[in-house]
Structures are given as C-alpha cells and as structure tokens.
A and B are shown apart, each in its own frame.
Chain A
Amino acid sequence: MSSKSESLSVSAGFLRGSSIGSSTDKLVDTRLVYAHSMAAIGTLFLAVLFGICISLQFILPDLVPESSVFSWGRMRYAHTQGIMLGWLGNAFLAFLYHAVPILTGKQVTSRLLGRWLFGLWNFIVVLPGFVLVLAGFSQPIEWAEFPLSIDAFVIVGLLLAAIQFLPGFFRRGLEDLYISSWYIIGGLVFTLLAYPMGNIIPELVPGAESAAFGGLWIHDAVGLFVTPLALAILYFVIPAVSGRPIFSHFLSIFGFWGLFFLYPLNGTHHYVFSVIPMAAQMGSIAASALLGIIVVIVVTNLTLSLRGSGLIPKDIGLRFVVMSIVFYLLVSIQGSFQAQMSLNQAVHFTDWVVAHSHLAMLGFATFAAIGGIIHAWQRISWARYNAAALNWSFWLLVVGIGIMFIDLTIAGIIQANLWLSGAPWLESVQASKPYWFIRILSAIPITAGFIALFIGLVTGPQGAGARAIELGANEQKATDVHPSFASKSFAQELGIGSSGQVLRMSYFAAMLAGVGFFAVSVILLGVLPGKVLDQQIALMSPENVLKPTISEIRGRAIYAREGCAYCHTQQIRYTEADIRRFGAPTLAWEGQFDFPHLWGTRRIGPDLARAGATRSADWQLLHLYSPRTVVPLSVMPSYSSLFDGAPDKPKQEAYDLLAFIESLGRAREIAWPDGDKAARELVLEDKWALMSFDAPLLNAHPNKTRARGEFPDFGEPASSEIAQQLWLDNCATCHGETGQGDGLAAAWLEPRPADFTQYEYTDNNIADALWNGIDGTAMPAWRDQSPENLAALVTFVQGLSLSGTGSETEVDSNELILGQQVYAANCIQCHGIAGDGNGFAASELDVAPTDFRNKRPSISQSIRVLQNGIDGSSMAPWNDRLSANEMLAVTHYLRGFFNAGGRNNDSSEGVN
C-alpha cells in the first residue's frame, strides 16, 4: 500500500473510530472554526463601519468636526487593516481549521495553540491595532498601517499559524499534495517572508526606494496572502460540493507556480511613471500582463471544474465561490490592463483603482472567504444554519458590490478625463460627488448582506447545514474515476529510487524555487532599483541639501498620522498631464530624507510635492482649520483639533504641519535652476531624468502666484450666469457675495481680501490678478480656469464697483498741488512717481504697493486706508502725520493716476 493510501486509511480510520456524534468534531476543531468566523464577522462590521464613515465624509466632510480620533485618515487606516487582518485574516484561519485536517487527515498541531493564536490575532493584533491607529500611532504604508509594535505580533501570529497548520502536511507525507494544500503552504510561508519586508524595510530606506518596497508589499499582501488562501478555498469547496474532482490538477499546479512567480513581480506597477527606474517599471508591467494570462488559465480550470453546477449553484457556499471566481477574473484582467502605461497614465490615482481594490478585497476575496465559512459551517453538527438568510446575503452583496464597482469605475474615468483636460481640480471633485453618493448607497445592500450573513450563521436549526451536504451527495458523482496508476513510476523511469525519494527532492526543489521566486522579486524590483536610485541621488542631488527641521519632521509625522497621503500624492509623475498641472517630475533625491515615503496612490486633492510656496501661511492654516471657508467645494476634512478654537490660534501641531507643508518642494526650488543644470549635464542619456530637468516650470501649480505683468488675452467672456457661479464657487468666501471683502474667510486673512465695491479697476488689473495672483497675500492665481471664464470674471468684478458713481466732485487746482506735495513727500517711495506701485522701496516689500494707474480707490476708501493702514501689508496708518485736508488732497491726487482705458501691466500691483 502506498503511503498515500495509508494516510487515507488513517484519516478514515480516525473518523470511523471516533465516538458517534462527534467523529468530525474530533478531526476538525469546530469551536475554533466558529470562533474565528465570529471574530471575522465582528471585525468585518467594524471595518465596514469605518469604510462607511470615510465614504460619508466625501459628501459630509464635517461629519466628525472636532474629533481627531475619528478623523478621516485614521479611519481609513483602520478600514483597510480591519478588512485584511481582521476580516480576511480570521475568515482564512476559520477555513484553515476546517480544511487542513481534511487535507492532511490529521488534526492541527494543537488545540491549545489554536486558542492562543485566536487570542493573539484578535486581542493583540486587530483590536489594539484599531485602538492604536485611532489614537494616532500608525505607519503611513499602504496595507501596513498598523504600527510597528503590532507588526511584530502579526509576525508572531503568522509563525504560530505556520506551526499550527503546516506540520500536518509534512507528517502525512507530501506524495499527493492537493492544490489547496499548495496554496495554504505557499500563502503562510510567503506571507511570513513578505510581511516583514513590506512593513519594516520601507521605514529604513528613503523616498523612492521606500516606495519600491512599499509597492512590492501592496501587491504581495494581495498576491501572497489574500489570493493563495482565497484560491485554496475555491479549489477546496468546488470538488467538495460538486462531488467531482477538479478538472485538471496539472493546470492548477501550473497556475500555482505562475501566480507565485509573477504576483510578487507586479509590485512596481503601483508606481508607473514614477522615478523608480523604468527597467523595474517595465518588468512589473510585463509581469502584470503575464499574470493576466495565468489567471485566465486558473479561472478556466476552476470553471471547467464547475461544469454541471450552473452559474448559480443550489449550494450557497458554492454560489459564493462561483461569484468569487467571476470577480477574480474581472479584477485580474482589469489589473493587467490598468498596469499598461497607456491606461495607467489616465486612470492611476482615480477612483478606478479604488473600484479595482474593492473588487479584489470585497469581491473576490470576501466571496471566497464567505464561501469557505459557509462550507465549513454546514459541516458543524451543532451550528445553527439559516439558508434563507444566507441566500439573501449573497444577492445583497452581489448587488452592492456590483453597484460600487461600476459606480467607482465610471467615477475614475470621469476624473481621468478631467485631469487630462487640465480642468480646475475642483471640477473633478464636483463631478465625482454624485458617484460618491451612489457609493454610499451601495453600502446599504453591502451592510445588509453582511448582516444577513451573520443572521444566516447564528439563526436557524442546529445542524441544518448538513442538509446541504446531503443535497451535494445526491449530485452526480465524478465520472472520471481514479486512473490506474502507472505500474512504472516516473521516478523509476528517471532511475531515482523510490517515488518517495524523488518527491522529497521535488518538494525540496519546489521550496527552494518558491523562496527563490520571492527573492527574485525583491532583488529585481526592490534591491536593484534601490541601487540605481542611490546612484541617482549621488549624481543629481545638489550639495548640502537643506535637511528638514525638527518642526518639519514633527509636521511630517502628523501628516502621516492623519493619512494625508491617502488623498494627496507627493510624486509628480513623468507624464505630460502631471508636468502641465504640477511641474517638473519628482527626482529621487527630493525624497532622500523621507522615511518612509509619502508618495500616496490616490489623488482626491491635488499633488503636494511642490506645495511649499504655493499658498500663503494664513491660507494654509485657515484651510486646515476649516477647508470650506476658503474652498467652498472642497471635501477635505477639517483638522480643527490642531487649533485652540480658531484658525488664528494654532497649536504647536498646526505650526509643525504648516512647516512641513511649506517645506514640500523647497529643496528642489532652491536647486532650480543652477543645481538642476549641473545635474542635467551628467544625465544626458537618461530621457526620463531629462523630462524632469527640461520641464518648463518647476512648480506649475495653477494657483501659485507669480510676478505680475504677463497675462494672456482672455478673449470673449463666458456668460454672466457662469461668472456669477464662478464668483460664488471660488471668490465669495473671501471677497463676500457682494464683493465687499467680507467673506467668511476675510477675518482670518492678512491683508484682508479686497473690497471691490470701493475701487475701480482696469480690465488689465483684474486680468493680471486672476492670472498671476497677488504675491504675499492669500489671493491665488486662477490659471486653471478657461480664458472665457476669466474674461467673464473680469467683467463681473468690475461690475461690483460702487466707486465713482455719483461721488465725484470738482477738485480745485490748489488741492491737487497740495496732494502732489503730500504724495511726493510720503508716497512715492513705495507707489512711485507715476503712481505705478514701482517706487524704489517697492521691491523690498512682501506685498507690492498699489498701482494707482490700474486701481482707483473711492474717496472714502482712500481716506479709510490713510487713517488705518492695511493689516498684513507695509501700508501704515497716517493719522498722526497727515491732516484731514492733506489726506483728502492726496486722495484726489492719486485718483488722477487712474487710466481706465490703458493696458498698464508693467508693474507689480498690490493691495496697499
């Protein structure tokens, strides 16, 4: 008798020899199946609750206004880790307690160890992980957000799982290792290798190198942990329910090795068009395409194994498994395509990718996990089982996930189109809102489906699940009976002793190959690119790059803690759209002090790689405190917990965060252009580096202020209705609805926003301000608006002026002479002889003096400014130096500079 047959006999004998009524329980520890299943569903509810909260905040950004514990970023961290470690981790463990004893014919290593593992996984990893992340202890690495202290226990947990489940395979003998066993062994061993690599190494290496390892882990988490264990379930449940062996074990082994070879090599496709060496990017893109082929083979094999079961099998567990296969095919083909550069440059960072990841984790993996749990549940003689509720669960989840996937995919395409078009960022946010709302609605059937799942497992008669097994037993049995095993073994033909010897050799070789594949992925996509990046840094980095200050380091930690990188990338990609919108692509040396990287993989807000010097400090603080006070259409959460009740009362944390934001892009800004020129000469052969060096602008942010004077002809204006809407959406929060400079934000900005009712402006003055912004103030540029929109705004702003309407009086020549004397004595230093704001002191001032040729104050406004000065600018009060007559006289004089019809754009015009 072969050792295989002996093993089978042991299994059967074990079962037969057990006491009546508990024989299956003796082989399978059903209590641990039950416990992990319940823990899985409990943590699933928590993770889904976090997910719903963060998706609600896209529509209701102030849902949790004052809390830092439940801030968007922290809940986002808890959401993904909850799904991966809490839900799927527990669900897979539950299934392993059912499957491994059947696969090996032996109990797991120790029931006591099982209880320790359960406790460790749930009460030292998952729950403390949630608590710590919400309390602000985390690491900003995607799919690795629990802090390092928790990571250590995850590794211990994985080790315990390996000790618990793997020895059975080796004790039983490896002669007939079924494909599910391969996946279980592979999943546990390679997760043990990949987890420390993905969770620890990104903390130790800087910037792009850190991203290279982070990218590896993002894919390894799915490819080496989730996918193998989900596929183990699919390959287990299908023959168990259909009563027939799978179609081809050859193809399943082919798929196994294909997946384990190629999955880890996909990692860098998360950073296509980044500074990570193109050789690594291309390698990952090729591996992604090949992986798609492998998945088609795997799915074909699974589908052929299902023949006769129908698309919607009667067995509910199998039904979940079938849908998991459908999702697996969809998500894998989608993944292969979206890794290709032509599609990637458009959809990367959009909701397309969010749809993709939900289809992977909530579709493929979750359906497999539920299928596995239900299958095991049916075989627990004492467990309750409510088939009707589980049936509801299936349909609700299919509908919910279907809606979410389609909805977010469409949203991603819309976002991609708007980003490529160069439209204002907020247009993509506005266009996304209906889809974000539908995503929230999709949470209703999804949540209801999970509730129905819970009901299905805790209600109904005890042991009712066994009916499903009886039904399955009545199904047509396998027609392909056992083949007569070859009389002469393969090993014998090879002349290598017994088959046991060659199998031991082959498994040893397989183990080496598996570890080798993982090592190859780390070397090809982590270590080698890291070396190249190190060389790039050495070659291109300017000398004595400014290191981050203590405050900036603290600010970075806050940025990481709050999950800012999950909405704002910090990498300008090597694409035309990014160069046009954000500026020169990110070079490796720019992130040489970033441990770990904060590149991000999603853009809900704009990229922040060059955020420094793009906005004024008062704007940034107000934006952090109350984003919609300055950007009404923004969906950014408020970070008011960083302040003492008002935007002008920042706590130290707000100052630190501001310091960090203002440092973004600073090193390159200092190097540009001389440092860049020197580096450029050294890399003339590197077309990607040249793409960065030759970008027209280092910081192309459309809202960044520039020196005034140059602006295009806007042409014909859009309609007044459009202008009115633009005003309300973009200008009214600062300047007020009627343009009196009294918007919500006005009180917190220095200098205050202009009161347009009290001035007359030339066309050119407004056009100049709209195109270039006003340096030293919170007034940004609006270069992302279309020319016709800008032209319409020029007309609209001019229409706000009440100045000069009926208030003009005759001015006698003596008064004008007095005014000229006062002006010459007190004003020309800043405002210039010609009133053009170009006096000899003007260039030294943070806020440029007013160019009176293009901007004429009303008499009352001019007197007010002379009496009070302008806070936040160099314009001082003149109360104690000028009499009322002198103020009036100089007012009349300076109003005479105004040249309503001329294009006076040769000065830098300000507010005072």
Chain B
Amino acid sequence: MITNVIVFASIFLALAYFIVWLLRSDFREQIERPKHHFQDQLNEYDNHCVEDKINNK
C-alpha cells in the first residue's frame, strides 16, 4: 500500500506538472521568468563588485 501511494503520487504529480507545462505557454514563460530576473541581479551585483575593486585601487 505504501509503495503504491508513493509511486502513484509521484507519477500523478509529475504528470500533472508536465501536462500543465505542455499545454500552457504562459505557464512555460512564467516558470522560466525567475532565472532571467536572477541573472539580472547577479550581473548587477558582480558589476558592482568589480567597480568596488576599481574604486578601491
């Protein structure tokens, strides 16, 4: 019983997630959005790190 719960729950959750991703283009875009925003934040921060170094020289 426990095995069935684990296996079927895993498959169900994975499939549900995958199907929504497959069918909804806006979901696909929405779920990818954080990586781009994070990239901006990283670049921003690193630029300032380099600036700090230049300013400290």
Task: State the A residues within 8 Å of B (CB).
Answer: 4, 8, 11-12, 15, 20-25, 27, 102-103, 105, 176-180, 239-240, 243-246, 248-250, 252-254, 257-258, 261-262, 265, 279-280, 282-283, 285-287, 290, 378-379, 381-382, 463, 466, 469-470, 472-473, 478, 482-483, 485-486, 488-490, 493, 499, 520, 524-525, 528
Contacts and interface: CB of A to CB of B under 8 A. Distances in A.
B37 A176 contact: yes
Interface string B10-32: 10011001100100111111111
Contacts of B37: 4, 8, 176, 178
A545 to B, nearest CB: 29
Contact of A253 (B31, B52, B56): B31
Interface residues of B, number: 45
- Chain B's interface: helix, strand, loop or mixed, by majority? helix
A177 B1 contact: no
B21 A250 contact: yes
A283 B52 contact: no
25 contacts: A15-B44, A21-B52, A23-B51, A23-B52, A27-B45, A176-B33, A178-B34, A178-B37, A239-B39, A239-B42, A243-B39, A249-B31, A254-B14, A254-B18, A279-B2, A282-B2, A283-B2, A286-B3, A287-B10, A290-B10, A379-B49, A473-B46, A485-B30, A489-B26, A524-B2
Given A21-B55, A27-B45, 12 more contacts: A15-B48, A178-B34, A243-B39, A243-B43, A257-B13, A257-B17, A262-B6, A287-B10, A378-B49, A486-B25, A524-B2, A528-B2
A29 to B, nearest CB: 14
B33 to A, nearest CB: 6
Which of A8, A24, A103, A473 is most buried by chain B, counting CB atoms within 10 A of its CB? A24
Contacts of A265: 6
Given A4-B37, A8-B37, A245-B39, A240 B46 contact: yes
A494 B17 CA distance: 16
A789 B30 CA distance: 73
B39 A102 contact: no
Contacts of A528: 2
A258 B15 CA distance: 12
A11 B41 contact: yes
Contacts of A15: 44-45, 48
Contacts of B9: 261
Contacts of A483: 29, 32-33, 36
B26 A488 contact: yes
Given A21-B56, A488-B26, A473 B32 contact: no
Given A254-B17, A485-B33, A105 B26 contact: no
A686 to B, nearest CB: 16
Contacts of B38: 103, 176, 178, 180, 239, 245
A180 B31 CA distance: 14
A472 B5 CA distance: 46
A485 B45 contact: no
Given A23-B51, A239-B38, A470-B50, A463 B6 contact: no
A250 B55 CA distance: 39
A837 B35 CA distance: 86
Contacts of A470: 50
Contacts of B52: 20-25, 381, 466
Which of B6, B14, B28 is most buried by chain A, counting CB atoms within 10 A of its CB? B6
A416 to B, nearest CB: 26
Nearest to A483: B29
Given A286-B3, A286-B6, A485-B33, A102 B45 contact: yes
A490 B46 contact: no
Contacts of B25: 486
B42 A287 contact: no
A868 B47 CA distance: 93
Contacts of A239: 35, 38-39, 42
Contacts of B32: 248-250, 483
B42 A249 contact: no
A283 B1 CA distance: 8
B3 A282 contact: yes
Contact of B29 (A21, A382, A485): A485
- Chain A's interface: helix, strand, loop or mixed, by majority? helix
Nearest to B46: A469
Contacts of B42: 102, 239-240
Contacts of A176: 33-34, 37-38
Given A279-B2, A473-B46, A483-B29, A245 B53 contact: no
A262 B6 CA distance: 8
The 3 A-B pairs at the shortest CB distance, nearest first, are namely A283-B2, A245-B35, A466-B53
A486 B30 contact: yes
Contact of A177 (B7, B34, B48, B53): B34
B41 to A, nearest CB: 6
B35 A103 contact: no
A286 B45 contact: no
A290 B45 contact: no
B34 A490 contact: no
Contacts of B10: 258, 261-262, 287, 290
Nearest to B17: A254
Contact of A283 (B5, B31, B45, B47): B5
Nearest to B33: A176
Nearest to B24: A490
A249 to B, nearest CB: 4
Nearest to A20: B55
Contact of A524 (B6, B31, B43): B6
Contact of B41 (A103, A250, A382, A486): A103
B13 to A, nearest CB: 7
Which of B34, B44, B50 is most buried by chain A, counting CB atoms within 10 A of its CB? B34
Nearest to B45: A102
B56 A286 contact: no
A453 B24 CA distance: 47
Contacts of A382: 56
A463 B30 contact: no
A24 B34 CA distance: 22
A179 B34 contact: yes
Nearest to B28: A250
B34 A249 contact: yes
Nearest to A487: B26
A245 B35 CA distance: 6
A170 B44 CA distance: 21
A791 to B, nearest CB: 50
A11 B44 contact: yes
B46 A482 contact: no
Contacts of B55: 20-21
Given A27-B45, A261-B13, A279 B34 contact: no
Nearest to B52: A381
B23 to A, nearest CB: 11
Contacts of B44: 8, 11-12, 15
B6 to A, nearest CB: 5
Given A265-B6, A279-B2, A483-B36, A250 B45 contact: no
A344 to B, nearest CB: 16
B4 to A, nearest CB: 9
Contacts of A379: 45-46, 49
A249 B27 contact: no
Contacts of B2: 279-280, 282-283, 524-525, 528
B45 A24 contact: yes
A15 B46 CA distance: 11
Contacts of B7: 286, 290
Contact of A279 (B3, B17, B56): B3
A490 B29 CA distance: 9
A258 B16 CA distance: 13
Contacts of B3: 279, 282-283, 285-286
Contacts of A486: 25-26, 29-30
B48 to A, nearest CB: 5
Contacts of A254: 14, 17-18
B8 to A, nearest CB: 10
A27 B47 CA distance: 14
